[in-house]
Amino acid sequence: MTAEIDWGPIRALGQHVIERGEPLELTDEVRSLLRRSASEVAISPEDAENALRSVPTATTLLGEITRRIREGSDRLGEARHRAYDLRDAGNLDGAGRQMEEVLAVEVVPLYRKRADAMIRETTRLKSVAASGQVDPKLSDRAQVPILLHRVQQGHPLELNEGMRAFLRRSAADVGMSEAETEQALATPESAGALLRQIMGRLRDASDRLESAMERMMELRDAGDLEGARQQIRDWMAVEVVPRYRRAAEENLAYLDSLSPAP
């Protein structure tokens, strides 16, 4: 179900009708779109069919659909951001509660599914926190702060084959050299220091991304595309983490597509 959902058409229709005040034309295609989208945001078929009997009620239906999509997305996004911050601080119970609070009020199945997936991930992370062993079913990024928290609590890393492979992947992901990584894998103590470096690079890169994107969007919205481009160039000049460099390159390409650089 998740892979089949495309809310682009219903969002576009909502922009025309709800935001711009254009009249809704109840063509067969629009009726089909409203029926499908209503189902995807947990509006019953009976309520949807009743709403499709007239343009005013269909317009109200459209507004309710787009509201559920928008508010659910905002709710989940904000809760996820808080959950990630709590997870990175080692507070897995708090991270899980963020998603539980989403489930307490969310009705859209897609958003409920994503919140539930994060709760299940948090449960698996608790096992990582308890055992100190890497879980191959979880992302490396999610496990870095959990294992680092264990180290900070006085539990050295167990340098088995799985842990060494995990540290090599995580170090490469933040742009550290193979030589530097292999040297750090000599002892549990130096491996713990490596883990701190990895987490530090991830945090710094995330902060740079957030700051650069905020300034870029302000300049873009003010019509200063060259200033927006320069923000991204400045970010790229200092970024060492490959995934964030790619994000910077993609944003620069996006800005270049808006208008030719002078």
Alpha helices in the chain (DSSP H): 8-14, 28-40, 45-51, 55-88, 92-105, 109-131, 140-152, 161-173, 178-184, 188-221, 225-238, 242-258
Q: Could you tell me if 141 and 203 are in contact, meaning their C-beta atoms sit under 8 angstroms apart?
A: no
In whole angstroms, what is the distance from residue 212 CA to residue 202 CA? 15
Question: Over the Cα atoms of the chain, what is R_g?
Answer: 23
What predicted TM-score, i.e. pTM, was given to this entire model?
0.85
| pLDDT in the model for residue 1 | 42
- List Cβ neighbours of 112 (8 Å cut-off, separation of 6 or more): 102, 103, 106
Q: What is the DSSP letter of 259?
A: S
Mean pLDDT, each 10-residue run in order, the chain (262 residues): 78 96 96 97 97 97 97 97 96 97 98 98 98 97 97 96 98 96 97 97 94 93 92 94 93 84 48
Q: How far apart are CA 14 and CA 24, in angstroms?
A: 9
For the CA atoms of 67, 70, 73, 74, what is the dihedral angle to 10 degrees? Answer: -100
Q: Which amino acid is at 102?
A: V
Backbone torsion region of residue 51, taken as left when φ is above 0, otherwise alpha when ψ lies between -120 and 50, otherwise beta = alpha
Give CA–CA dist 197/175, Å, rounded: 11
Q: Which long-range contacts (CB under 8 A, 24 or more apart) does 111-116 make?
A: 111/72, 111/73, 111/75, 111/76, 113/2, 114/76, 115/76, 115/79
Residues, the chain, total?
262
Per-residue model confidence (pLDDT) at position 2: 44
Question: How is the chain split into domains, by residue range?
Answer: 2-124, 132-258
pLDDT score for 187: 97
pLDDT at 259: 62
pLDDT at 258: 84
Report the amino acid identity of residue 85: D
Q: How far is CA 76 from the centre of its chain?
A: 10
Q: How far apart are CA 103 and CA 72, in angstroms?
A: 11
DSSP 99-168: HHHHHHH---HHHHHHHHHHHHHHHHHHHHHHH----TTS-HHHHHHHHHHHHHTT------HHHHHHHH
